[in-house]
Structure formats: C-alpha cells, structure tokens
Amino acid sequence: MSHHPKLAILGFGTMGQAICAGLVEASGYPAGLIHAVDIHPSAMKARAEALGIRLSKEVETAVKEAEVVLLCVKPKELKGLLSELTAAGALDHKPLVVSIAAGTNLAFLDEHTPEGTPLIRAMPNTPCSIRKGMVVLSPGKGVTEAQLAIARALFEPLGRVMDLDEKHMDAVTGLSASGPAFMFVILESLAEGGVQCGLPRAVATELAAQMTLGAASMVLETGKHPAALKDEVTTPAGCTIAGLMVLEDGRIRSVVARGIERATQVAAGLG
C-alpha cells in the first residue's frame, strides 16, 4: 500500500468533511487521492471544491478504486450500504475499512463485509473539526500493525490518537464523544458565575473557555494527577478552597461521573 493510500470517504457530513480537511490542509495529503461519496453531493459541492477532492454519488466506483474505505454514514444506514457493496463485489479486493459509526461493533461490520476484510472501529469527537480532537481506534482480528499505522495517520492531523481494545469503546463514546457537551454545560455554568459577580457575559465566557483550555493542557503536558494540580492552586484559607467546598456540597464529582456512566450505558444500547 502506498504512503498515501487511495481513500474513499463514504458520507461527507460533519465528520467526513473534518477528516478530509485535516488530511488535505493539515497533513498535505494529495487531494487527488480522495474520493468522497454522499447521497446529496450538491449540498457539499463548494466544500469539496475548496479542498480539491472528488465528490460524487458513485459509491461502488469509489470503493472499488480505494485502498482505504472510511465509513462516515449514520449507524442506521450502515447495514444497507455494506450489504450493497458486498453484493456488488466492491469490497472483494479487501481494502482496509474504517468505521466511525457509534455503537456499531466489529462483529456487526465483520458480518456485513466479505470474509477477511480488515476492519478498524474508530471513535472521533466533534473537536476533531478544529484539530483538537480525540480519536480512539480498535482494530479487528487480522489487522496488521502497518494497517493500524495507516488508520492512525488518517486521524493524527485531527488531534490525539490512541488504540484500545474494543470492549472499552462504549465508555470511550460516553466520555470522549459525549464529553464535549458536558464540558459546554460546565463552561456555561462557570461563565454564569462570572456574570452573577458582575462580568459582562462575553468576557465571562472567554475567561471560562481559556481557563478550561489551560487547565486541560496542564494535565496533558505535565502528566500530573488532576488532584495534585488542584492542590497547587488551593492555598490555606484562600478563595479557591472556599469555592471548592461549595462544589463538593453539590456532589459535583459523583454527578459528573454518573453522567459519563449513563452516556456509556446508552452507547451500549442499554439505555
């Protein structure tokens, strides 16, 4: 497989476009090697032209020519699409198939593709659209280290990439993919506190967002436990410990942790 494999992106919605933009704009991937397919290509025409990639409705053509197939369609559309491609023999050349469909496991993908198709399940999140994302990869059986490296290279322009055993994917969905929504609620609450104390809303929002970005970056860059970093800010009898006491009164830890637990259950189809 070449350094830049021929790529078919099936579904050119938010994530399909984010992945495409990351490849072409951030990692110098040759736009001529990317063929995106969508059932409503006219709506995305301008975006595809700006990136210089091919966009069509010709799903079988795109897949037959591809070395890597990226499935970015909605989970409920996946079965029909894979059945159609398998019946048409479009996957007979065994391209690497990478699926970002939430809650769709490797066993399902394996069942609906020709035997021996190399499969990788990926879970990206929405910050991938601004290249601050988190992507977790779970390789199926028989996926080689070289194939996993190809999948990593596709997502690395979008943020951080790690690989994990598939049994963790529902928790990854609950924490990493649903998590941005939880952080937006927390950010909004932090800003509301600033507004309550007299700050203009736009100022409070900017302070809250940059502070959150900085705090998260400290965890990633120092490698210190969040509790240790918290202790460094918390001086005896100071304002920080006073505020923390109020948060603890509201059971902030358990309520946030339980939110992740519930999202994970729903991701697993237990909801």
The H or E element spanning position 84 is helix 75-87
**Model pLDDT, residue 3:** 80
Residues 44, 48, 49, 51, CA torsion sign: positive
pLDDT score for 2: 54
In eight-state DSSP terms, residue 33 is G
Q: For residues 220 and 214, what is the distance between their CA atoms, to the nearest angstrom?
A: 10
> What domains can you pick out in the chain, each with its CATH number?
7-165 (3.40.50.720), 177-267 (1.10.3730.10)
Cβ atoms of 9 and 18 within 8 Å: the answer is: no
* pLDDT on residue 271: 41
Between vectors from CA 221 to CA 215 and to CA 224, what angle results, nearest 5°?
Answer: 75
Query: Going by DSSP bridges, is the β-strand pair 54-56/34-37 parallel, antiparallel, or unpaired?
Result: parallel
pLDDT tens, residue order, the chain (271 aa): 558 999 999 999 988 999 999 999 988 899 999 999 999 889 899 999 999 999 999 999 999 999 999 999 998 999 999 999 999 999 999 999 999 998 899 999 999 999 999 999 999 999 998 999 999 999 999 999 999 999 999 999 999 999 999 999 999 999 999 999 999 999 999 999 999 999 999 999 999 999 999 999 999 999 999 999 999 999 999 999 999 999 999 999 999 999 999 999 998 885 4
Whole-angstrom CA distances from 242 to 187, 234, 236, 246 are: 20, 9, 10, 7
- Distance between alpha carbon 82 and the CA centroid of its chain, in Å? 22
Measure the CA angle with vertex 172, ends 208 and 119; round to 5°: 135
Q: Determine the pLDDT at residue 270.
A: 59
C-alpha 169/C-alpha 92 separation (Å) is 28
* pLDDT value of position 129: 86
Q: Do 68 and 98 touch, CB atoms closer than 8 A?
A: yes
The residue type found at 117 is: T
